[in-house]
Amino acid sequence: MDGLMQRRSLALPPVFHRAEQIFAHKTMVTVRPDGVRSVTIAAWAQRVRRLATVLDQLGLDTGARVGTFAWNTQEHVELYFAAPCSGRILHTVNVRLFTEQIQYVIEHASDEALFVEKSLLPIVWPLRNELPRVRHWVVIDDGSDVEIPTDERVHDYDQLLARAAPFEGRFEVDDENSAAAICYTSGTTGNPKGVVYSHRSILLHSMLNLMADHIGLSERDTVLPVVPLFHVNAWGLPYASVMAGATLVLPGSRTDPESILDLVERQRVTVTAGVPTVWNNAVPHLSRFDLSSLRIVVSGGAAVPVVLSEAWRVQAGVPITQAWGMTETSPMASFGSLRSHHDDLDTESLSMVRASQGQVLPLIDLRLVDTDSGAEVPWDGTSVGELQASGPWVASGYLGDGEGGDSFTEDGWLRTGDIAGIDSYGYIRLVDRSKDLVKSGGEWISSVDLENHIMAHPAVLEAAVIAKPDEKWSERPVACVVLHADELITGDDILNHLADRVAKWWLPDEVHFLDEIPKTSTGKFSKKTLRERFYPSDVNTPQR
């Protein structure tokens, strides 16, 4: 017998309409070069309705791909809702990709219109002849003085909105499994791959962000996503904030540490989220700002060293809480807030819990698999294996590839490429990305652990450990280290510091001091670039 509940689709329109109706008085804030702009949700919603009409007028059919090339702004969040609520598919293009990758993803996603912030035009407009499918280039005025090209394909966003009548009535999306948004992986190996989120997956993921044991977003929150809106939908925060009625504070393109901390202070931000580099760069400035409004600082995308989380706890009064996930997992799949079984732990043990990737979230299934034997590895906290994931907001395939492919197991689970252990409470401890592990004499060395220890040295700002090819041991670890300004230490100092913290055979063979660790388009350490720099002949070997 079927249940007798209504089969209303789990889609974005009800989120929009509820916000429009009951959160009309609330605001959304954007930082622009000419100052901070605040709009009411009533005004924002009216613009979303006008934008839906504009998409009709541009001749974009149901299912058409609407590309965005923009930072974290109110206009971007307008597109976040207008495109999917009116049946189109939002494609947020990562503006930091290489030019060839930008061209590839716009072409591969079949974007028919591209909404571009004016200051970003010089990156993407020169590609117009290579992008014949893009029929409309809509320029969003972000206050920059870049000249708008005179071309019949080019339109002004605000003018289009001003001329369009607001869409009337309720948006409807009947099929909750229809595509709502596309994000590409950053393509560290090969071309970026398109992950296609459905209305259902975004809706469930948004509800998850509201859960108390997760971020627990509520109407009282003021949310500052430092993570760009083109990186996995800013981890779902724009959708979740509109769902909760929380105030979104959007930093535009200004994500330098001082601007972010200043925004936290002025806007009384309660929740913020970004990659560890953002939080690490902010540490020297923490004491100059009033950060007492913060209740949670979320970090994801790469491991957070103990020393970083502790610096925030001590200096800002709030530690960093890790989330783990991938573009393919929408991205939230685990969260590192503390549970009752941690109540009696001392400060140091708590800092170790915070160094883990957190507890698996509801509705996400994880398993650890021994890649040699294929056997499942127990959740005992010490055994490790390849982390595989399954769940309603986990990808089942990539755009254009259909279901399956190398990244998925025969029974449809996502192979994350991460090597991890999980304890009996479901807390994940990531050992490494499989392609970053150092294999020495048949044993694995965790680059994440080594980096964690090196970054605990007070003179060290950043550290990345990579594998060096070695005839005898196959690979040996090499440390790339950036020091704080005015610090002067030697490689031996680093090795001495490590000596009583790790096994002798883990000690790096070489320590290189660099001015900066190269970063990926999403702000993480780019170990691929380091390997290319130090060991150019090795980067094409199969495990790399």
Site residues for ligand ADP per CB under 6 A: 185-186, 188, 300-303, 322-327, 357, 416-418, 430, 433, 520, 522, 524
Q: Which is nearer to ligand ADP, 316 or 430 (CB)?
A: 430
Reduced to 3 states, what is the DSSP secondary structure of residue 140? strand
328 carries an active-site annotation: yes
What's the CA gap between 64 and 154, in Å, rounded? Answer: 18
Q: Which is nearer to ligand ADP, 13 or 477 (CB)?
A: 477
What's the CA gap between 337 and 427, in Å, rounded? Answer: 10
Q: Which is nearer to ligand ADP, 27 or 322 (CB)?
A: 322
Question: What's the closest the beta carbon of residue 275 comes to ligand ADP, in angstroms?
Answer: 9
As a dihedral over the C-alpha atoms of residue 143, residue 149, residue 150, residue 156, rounded to 10 degrees, the angle is: -40
Question: What's the closest the beta carbon of residue 464 comes to ligand ADP, in angstroms?
Answer: 13
Residue nearest to ligand ADP (CB): 186
Q: Which residues pair with 367 in a beta bridge?
A: 388
Q: Which is nearer to ligand ADP, 222 or 327 (CB)?
A: 327
Cα 196 to Cα 14, 58, 134, 152, 341: the distances in Å are: 21, 23, 20, 31, 37
462 carries an active-site annotation: no
Write the DSSP symbol of residue 110: T
Contacts of 309 (CB under 8 A, 6+ apart): 319, 320, 351, 354, 355
Question: What's the closest the beta carbon of residue 396 comes to ligand ADP, in angstroms?
Answer: 16
Question: What's the closest the beta carbon of residue 301 comes to ligand ADP, in angstroms?
Answer: 5
Q: Which is nearer to ligand ADP, 417 or 469 (CB)?
A: 417
444 carries an active-site annotation: yes
Catalytic residue among 107, 444, 473, 528: 444
Q: Compute the Cα dihedral for 252, 258, 260, 266 and give only its sign.
A: negative
As a dihedral over the C-alpha atoms of residue 335, residue 342, residue 319, residue 326, rounded to 10 degrees, the angle is: -20
Question: What's the closest the beta carbon of residue 300 comes to ligand ADP, in angstroms?
Answer: 4
Catalytic residue among 73, 185, 272, 416: 185
Catalytic residue among 439, 528, 529, 532: 439
Cα 42 to Cα 17, 26, 54, 138, 245: the distances in Å are: 11, 8, 19, 23, 12
Catalytic residue among 20, 112, 310, 328: 328
What's the CA gap between 321 and 212, in Å, rounded? Answer: 14
Question: What's the closest the beta carbon of residue 322 comes to ligand ADP, in angstroms?
Answer: 4
Q: Which is nearer to ligand ADP, 126 or 405 (CB)?
A: 405
185 carries an active-site annotation: yes
Which are the catalytic amino acids?
Answer: 185, 328, 439, 444
